[in-house]
């Protein structure tokens, strides 16, 4: 009995360390995604381009994620999952090293796209592996642990990377990310076990995508999470122009938001493991309410700080549940579907940013001040798709 207990303890410890290796990889990838936001001026000045041109480095990355996710997954579907993770991390390291060495804007854009190609597949395959490392009743929690790397990238990685880039040049930040990627690669080699290879053929993977349930799940993600970025993309002008915070205080408020998303990610995973659809619906309703309330609380600094913190909790509270639902929906061939769900998160980001921009450009219902409640309406669409998904699941059990 003692031997079995010790073996169980060793297995749990090994699974935990493997999850931490995946988390570090997620941290590095998240840092790469968001770091340009903090280094726009430095990159623009160094490469002699305008701020909007430098901003396109963010757009290029997002498109690389959305387009690259299904292409990389289909091209590598025969690879064992651990080998695929290692390939993705090597590609990621190469992309960031190339960014650090980039002699001009074009090469830097290509380097960003190269790194972005790994994003969707890493989180898609990583979610599958994380879920297989733990008992069935803890799958959402395991996915949440891996996604904690993404949230920590916002809280720690981007501020530290921005400071490093401002102090020693933006290239130093990409070298730092490259080193973190190498450490994550070593961790995956040593700690992540050889889990069962994807047994589904490419035809089976593509066949799963014909299911209406998968389409509904993707729409749940696009609109459920899209409401977050409808508001968050324009959080800085809201805080400065409406709430009257100083520009220098925005970064500290975003750290508060980052703490919120870390809490939401962890507890969202725990709730999803208990009861997936009820918890997901509850969190989405809370998200819609917080966004709607933000239209009123943004007039008061204290209330705004509370709302931003709650927004972070509700925003990432949805992520583990949405990802686990996709894994459950396409469990016979989860790799491509899971990866496409990561692309759906990014599509939701882009759609939300576009909707918020239209509201501001056309001065709809007051322009900037209307963005939070319009974001709430986007989330309500996600709630409707989630209700549809729950009913569809009941009918087809």
CA distance 151 to 337: 23
CA distance 62 to 382: 21
CA distance 184 to 59: 26
Residues 157 and 221 in one domain: no
333-371 burial: b if 16+ Cβ within 10 Å, else e:
bbbbbbbbbbbbbbbbbbbbbebbeebbeeeeeeebbbb
Name which residue leads in pLDDT, 216 or 336: 216
Q: What is the pLDDT of residue 103?
A: 93
Q: Is the pLDDT of residue 254 over 90?
A: no
Residues 7 and 125 in one domain: yes
CA distance 228 to 379: 8
Residues 188 and 206 in one domain: no
Residues 145 and 266 in one domain: no
Q: Is the pLDDT of residue 215 over 90?
A: no
Q: What is the pLDDT of residue 13?
A: 59
Residues 165 and 219 in one domain: no
CA distance 350 to 62: 8
Q: Which of 142, 175, 198 is at the close of a domain? A: 198
pLDDT tens, residue by residue, 347-396: 887 788 778 878 877 777 777 788 899 999 999 999 999 898 888 777 76
Residues 73 and 160 in one domain: yes
Residues 207 and 188 in one domain: no
Count of the separate structural domains present in the chain? 2
* CATH of residue 257: 1.20.1250.20
Residues 342 and 231 in one domain: yes
Residues 74 and 116 in one domain: yes
Name which residue leads in pLDDT, 242 or 158: 242
By residue range, what is the domain housing residue 56? 1-198
Residue position matching structure tokens 């749990």: 12
Name which residue leads in pLDDT, 100 or 352: 100
Residues 125 and 211 in one domain: no
Q: What is the pLDDT of residue 396?
A: 63
Q: What is the pLDDT of residue 14?
A: 63
Residues 370 and 299 in one domain: yes
Q: Is the pLDDT of residue 2 over 60?
A: no
Helix segments in the chain, DSSP class H: 2-38, 40-47, 51-75, 81-101, 105-132, 139-152, 158-168, 170-191, 202-208, 212-232, 235-237, 250-274, 276-297, 301-317, 319-329, 334-361, 371-395
Q: Which of 150, 179, 198 is at the close of a domain? A: 198
Left (φ > 0), alpha (ψ -120 to 50) or beta: where does 134 sit? beta
Mean pLDDT of the chain: 82
Residues 26 and 55 in one domain: yes
pLDDT tens, residue by residue, 154-186: 777 877 887 888 889 899 999 999 999 999 999
Q: What is the pLDDT of residue 178?
A: 96
Q: Which of 164, 183, 198 is at the close of a domain? A: 198
Q: What is the pLDDT of residue 277?
A: 83
pLDDT tens, residue by residue, 124-146: 788 778 878 878 777 777 877 88
pLDDT tens, residue by residue, 56-90: 787 788 778 878 877 887 777 777 878 888 999 99
């Amino acid at each position: 009995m003692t031997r079995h207990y010790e073996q169980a303890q060793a297995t749990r410890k090994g699974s935990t360390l493997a999850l931490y290796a995946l988390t570090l990889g997620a941290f590095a990838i998240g840092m790469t995604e968001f770091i340009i936001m903090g280094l726009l001026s430095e990159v623009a000045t160094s490469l002699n381009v305008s701020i909007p041109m430098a901003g396109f480095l963010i757009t290029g990355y997002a498109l690389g994620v959305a387009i690259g996710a299904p292409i990389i997954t289909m091209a590598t579907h025969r690879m064992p999952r651990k080998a695929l993770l290692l390939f993705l991390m090597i590609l990621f390291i190469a992309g960031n090293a190339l960014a650090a060495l980039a002699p001009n804007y074009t090469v830097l854009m290509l380097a960003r796209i190269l790194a972005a190609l790994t994003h969707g597949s890493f989180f898609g395959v990583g979610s599958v592996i994380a879920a297989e490392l733990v008992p069935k009743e803890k799958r959402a929690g395991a996915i949440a642990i891996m996604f904690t790397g993404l949230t920590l990238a916002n809280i720690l990685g981007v501020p530290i990377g921005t400071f490093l880039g401002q102090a020693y040049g933006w290239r130093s930040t990409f070298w730092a990310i490259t080193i973190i990627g190498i450490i994550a690669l070593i961790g995956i080699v040593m700690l992540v076990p050889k889990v069962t290879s994807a047994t589904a053929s490419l035809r089976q993977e593509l066949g799963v995508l014909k299911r209406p349930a998968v389409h509904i799940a993707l729409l749940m993600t696009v609109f459920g999470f899209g409401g977050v970025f409808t508001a968050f993309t324009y959080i800085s002008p809201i805080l400065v122009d409406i709430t009257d915070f100083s520009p220098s205080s925005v970064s500290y408020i975003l750290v508060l938001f980052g703490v919120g998303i870390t809490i939401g990610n962890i507890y969202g995973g725990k709730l999803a493991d208990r009861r997936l659809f009820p918890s997901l619906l509850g969190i989405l309703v809370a998200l819609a309410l917080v966004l709607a309330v933000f239209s009123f609380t943004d007039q008061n600094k204290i209330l705004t700080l509370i709302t931003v913190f709650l927004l972070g909790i509700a925003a990432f509270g949805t992520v583990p549940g949405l990802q686990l639902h996709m894994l459950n929906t396409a469990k016979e061939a989860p790799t491509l579907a899971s990866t496409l769900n990561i692309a759906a998160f990014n599509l939701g980001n882009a759609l939300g940013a576009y909707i918020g921009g239209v509201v501001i450009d056309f001065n709809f219902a007051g322009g900037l001040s209307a963005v939070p409640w319009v974001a709430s309406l986007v989330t309500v669409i996600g709630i409707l798709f989630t209700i549809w998904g729950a009913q569809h699941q009941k009918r087809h059990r």
